[in-house]
Amino acid sequence: MRFGTLATPLEGPQEAASRMEKFVIEGGNPLAGTIVPSGNKNAALPALAACLLTEEEVVLRNIPRIRDVEAMTELLTGLGVGVEWRDDNVVALCAADVDPKAMDPGAANRIRASFLLAGPLLARFREADMPPPGGDVIGRRRLDPHLDAFRALGADVRFDRWYHLAAPGGLRPCDFFMDEPSVMGTENALMAAALTPGATVIHNAASEPHVQDLARLLLQMGARVSSPDIRAGMAMLIAASTARNATTAVRIFQPRPMSWATLATHGEVRDPGRDAAVGHHRPGGQQERRASVARSLPPHRGGGRAAQHPAHP
């Protein structure tokens, strides 16, 4: 049975292939040149959310001007945060006059990272009313790690279409184990603990580079983090009594794939901001191991083409 709302079926794979985007890669040449990598979105979003922890100005550099970042700044503006772009990738934020009740559900529905506002709002105002986050749907992405962290810190959590978080007496330090090393869950826990007097220990914490970026920002804002590198899956955070202003740059992690590609083709690509060869840059052990594998590859010769999917003749 045909439905009038369905599109007309394509005649065959050739017609389908003609309408699909594709990459055609001509190999056989070493990569060489100079690049200026952009900041990482996954580092920028929690850094933007962290501005809610303080009344003072926070200046973030190397922030990519992309749709998710614009959605987050729109959310923050709706809450009363002053947002000023001082350069293409430099933004200043001041959360002195925030109304924690002014959350815009429409704006929150545009990005999943909207839920990162829950931790700093709960820490600073002792309550947060959060609509379910939106964003892309890529399988089961539960909020339990966030909510479990808030409960461990002493918050009451209720749900009736929105998530209602409350800690009338303030949050309390704790020692808890996350049931999964959720990246955003760890980030929310770090921000919630940042204004909680005493030492909070988070076990099974996520250790991705952008989580470490947030830990470094919290250090600049006055919190004490035992290890911003969070190498062993554990983070210990001793809160500041008050957060202060900070100026920081979102670190650059985008060149990692470029590093591997450069090494694999025996080329040299430079990042003028680091004054170093991207192909030899090793920010962590995992990249160093992968770089060693890339260096061991034999030189690529010939002008071959990348293997093509049958749908892309």
The model's confidence at residue 73, banded by pLDDT at 50, 70 and 90, is very high
What are residue 276's DSSP bridge partners?
Answer: 271
N-to-C CA span, the chain: 33
Confidence of residue 8 (pLDDT cuts 50, 70, 90): low
Mean pLDDT across the chain, nearest whole number?
Answer: 77
For the entire predicted model, the pTM comes to 0.74
Catalytic residue among 68, 87, 88, 136: 136
Q: Which domains does the chain have, with CATH numbers?
A: 41-249 (3.65.10.10), 255-298 (no CATH)
Helices (H), the chain: 13-19, 41-50, 67-79, 105-108, 118-125, 144-152, 183-193, 209-220, 255-264, 285-296
Residue 269 binned pLDDT confidence (cut-offs 50, 70, 90): confident
Told to judge if 136 belongs to the known catalytic residues of this protein, a careful annotator would answer yes
